[in-house]
Amino acid sequence: MTLPEDRLNALALACESASGPDRTLDCAIYDALFIKPGKWDTCYVAKCYTASLDEAMTLVAKTWRILTINEQDFDDEKPWVVRITERDAEFGRAKVGSSIAATPALALTAAALRALALKSGEGNDGLR
């Protein structure tokens, strides 16, 4: 399944712009990743990606590694930084997604969405 890169990047930007957990955003992420066009909205089953690190981790493919989740000192509105890498036999590690957001869950969700967008451009949705 090829995911629209633009939609995933737009959702990542929305995560980075959010000031806290957002159920509408959770539903939009779920719809973009799991609902086939023409199907009715099943938002009640969407995970709370923007509120929970555990739920956000479900967006991280098994071949990816969280390089960093840390708080930066110079930005009070968006203090959390996440970088995701992928192990590559030929090149070692390649950065596939990164983000800066208001909470760790928002930053991880945004970084995972950016990585999924990058991978969807390679013909691989990254979800395993």
Q: Tell me the per-residue pLDDT of 59-85, one tens digit each, with 9 for 90 and over.
A: 999 889 898 999 987 767 789 999 998
pTM for this structure?
Answer: 0.84
Domain at 5-120: CATH code: 3.30.2120
Domain extents for the chain? Answer: 5-120
pLDDT tens digits, residue range 18-48? 999 999 999 999 988 987 666 666 677 889 9
- Structural tokens at position 67: 């390089």
pLDDT confidence tier of residue 91, bands split at 50, 70 and 90: low
63: left (phi over 0), alpha (psi -120 to 50) or beta: alpha
